[in-house]
């Protein structure tokens, strides 16, 4: 029997505050910088960041979950947050414009995704590895405030079956509508008609759903469900935004790497030239050179005032990893982790991640032990095929944009 993905309606909790929606929502917690966190707190006393990522005294790790729980209870008591009258599925649509003028949309269904352990014939699949720290932090939050605050984001191959229905919603007033600072128009429709709910659930059921964004949130939900066992409540599912990668205009950016090793960037630069026949470039040339590169796995090593464009052959990757799945071997980020890092340094590299090339250059310029790597993005199809093959990319391998915002609807677990 093929894997199945169970998406169910839920009785969402939504804002009633007479504040523009753009001032109520925030990004997912893992892309909120400390400066953005403070700014969002100042935007509105009702901004969802006060649940998603409250300001707290970092010397007391229990303070943030307590603040989120107290804030949620206060908003419910004051009528700022109110539960919908009926269980619903929600259709969420984003219409965006990229800096070059390209327009696109990302639309999908928000529902309660039945939790499953990964592996075997599961109807939900991961695509990248996770780190334990964020899971522990989010688990403390969900224990204190039993709520799906933000949806995970999953993609699937649906062949466009729901596209006509999504188009038809243009003629219905949305439950929420706003335009954000980047010019993206966000709209949310609450769907409570039983026939429409069954149609939407049925279209998503064949699966599998591949987690594009929210691996830590999914694994946190699983851990909480294990703790709760057979106790009543909605902890056996997680709020999920489900998007058909066959027809929606998904934008995927790479996560570049900032690397610290004891070798120093001058030694790393020389090894990149010697080992991979790298070509020295000025920083202003690198982005165009990477875009134009036609090799198997081109990437740019950022080493101070000079960059090195290198290309890793498919043969080098196969020698390093053996007969692993072809879709996984074809990823540039796999070539980086399995071939380039071992060749350029004797250390296990200390990594941080950013999608901003300028951020890479700023951080490399200040420390002679730090260097960077600029990568090309994977495609949404790459993400799905790697997951379907049972493999996982290295952590922080893709950045899906635009993000599904936090605050349009919350899902209570009790």
191: left (phi over 0), alpha (psi -120 to 50) or beta: beta
pLDDT in tens, 370-414: 999 999 999 999 999 999 888 989 888 899 999 999 999 999 998
pLDDT at 3: 65
Mean pLDDT, residues 117-137 taken together: 80
Q: Which residue has the higher pLDDT, 346 or 15?
A: 15
What is the four-CA torsion angle of 276, 277, 279, 280, rounded to 10 degrees? 80
Q: Decide: 22 and 406 in contact? Cβ < 8 Å.
A: no
What six digits make up the tokens of 122?
């599961």
For the cut 80, the answer to whether the pLDDT of residue 289 exceeds it is: yes
Domains of the chain, residue spans: 7-252+400-412, 255-376
Which of the four pLDDT bands, split at 50, 70 and 90, describes residue 58? low
**Alpha helix (H) residue ranges in 17-131:** 34-43, 49-52, 63-77
Q: Decide: 100 and 225 in contact? Cβ < 8 Å.
A: no
Mean pLDDT, residues 48-59 taken together: 86
Architecture category of domain 255-376 in CATH = 2-Layer Sandwich (3.30)
For the cut 80, the answer to whether the pLDDT of residue 131 exceeds it is: no
What six digits make up the tokens of 310?
């290198």
CA angle 247, 252, 255 (to 5 degrees): 165
pLDDT in tens, 333-365: 999 999 999 999 888 889 999 999 999 999 998
Distance CA 272, CA 266 (A): 10
How high is the mean pLDDT of the chain? Answer: 93
332 to each of 66, 68, 311, 365, how far by Cα in Å?
A: 42, 39, 10, 25
Q: Decide: 414 and 146 in contact? Cβ < 8 Å.
A: yes
19 to each of 22, 23, 92, 116, how far by Cα in Å?
A: 8, 7, 20, 38
pLDDT in tens, 210-261: 999 999 999 999 999 999 999 999 999 999 999 999 999 999 999 999 999 9
The 10 Å Cβ neighbour count of residue 257 is 26
Distance CA 154, CA 109 (A): 10
Distance CA 217, CA 142 (A): 10
What six digits make up the tokens of 394?
């290295």
């Amino acid at each position: 029997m093929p894997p199945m993905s169970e998406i169910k309606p839920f009785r969402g909790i939504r804002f009633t505050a007479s504040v523009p929606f753009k001032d109520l929502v925030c990004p997912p917690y893992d892309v909120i910088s400390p400066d953005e966190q403070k700014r969002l707190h100042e935007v509105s006393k009702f901004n969802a960041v006060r649940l998603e990522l409250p300001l707290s005294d970092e010397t007391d790790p229990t303070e943030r979950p307590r603040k989120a729980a107290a804030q949620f209870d206060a908003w419910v008591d004051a009528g700022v947050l109110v539960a919908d009258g009926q269980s619903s599925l929600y259709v969420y649509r984003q219409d965006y414009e990229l800096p070059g003028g390209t327009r696109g949309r990302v639309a999908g269904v928000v529902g309660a995704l039945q939790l499953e352990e990964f592996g075997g014939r599961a109807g939900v699949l991961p695509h990248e590895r996770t780190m334990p720290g964020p899971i522990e932090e989010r688990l403390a939050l969900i224990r204190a405030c039993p709520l799906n605050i933000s949806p995970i984001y999953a993609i699937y191959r649906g062949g466009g079956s729901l596209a006509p229905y999504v188009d038809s919603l243009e003629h219905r007033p949305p439950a929420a509508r706003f335009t954000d600072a980047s010019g993206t128009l966000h709209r949310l429709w609450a769907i409570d008609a039983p026939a429409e709910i069954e149609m939407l659930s049925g279209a998503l059921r064949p699966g599998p759903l591949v987690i594009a964004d929210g691996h830590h949130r999914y694994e946190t939900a699983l851990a909480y469900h294990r703790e709760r066992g057979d106790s009543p409540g909605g902890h056996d599912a997680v709020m999920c935004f489900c998007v058909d990668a066959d027809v929606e205009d998904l934008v995927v950016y790479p996560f570049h790497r900032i690397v610290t090793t004891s070798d120093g960037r001058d030694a790393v630069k020389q090894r990149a030239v010697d080992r991979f026949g790298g070509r020295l470039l000025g920083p202003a040339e690198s982005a165009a050179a990477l875009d134009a590169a036609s090799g198997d796995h081109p990437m740019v090593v950022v080493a101070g005032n000079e960059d090195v464009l290198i290309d890793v052959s498919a043969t080098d990757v196969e020698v390093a990893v053996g007969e692993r799945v072809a879709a996984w071997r074809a990823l540039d980020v796999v070539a980086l982790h399995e071939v380039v890092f071992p060749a350029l340094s004797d250390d296990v590299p200390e990594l941080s991640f950013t999608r901003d090339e300028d951020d890479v250059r700023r951080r490399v310029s200040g420390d002679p032990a730090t260097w960077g790597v600029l990568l090309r993005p994977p495609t949404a199809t790459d993400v799905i095929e790697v997951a379907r093959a049972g493999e996982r990319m290295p952590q922080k391998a893709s950045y899906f944009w635009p993000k599904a915002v936090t605050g349009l609807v919350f899902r209570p677990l009790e």
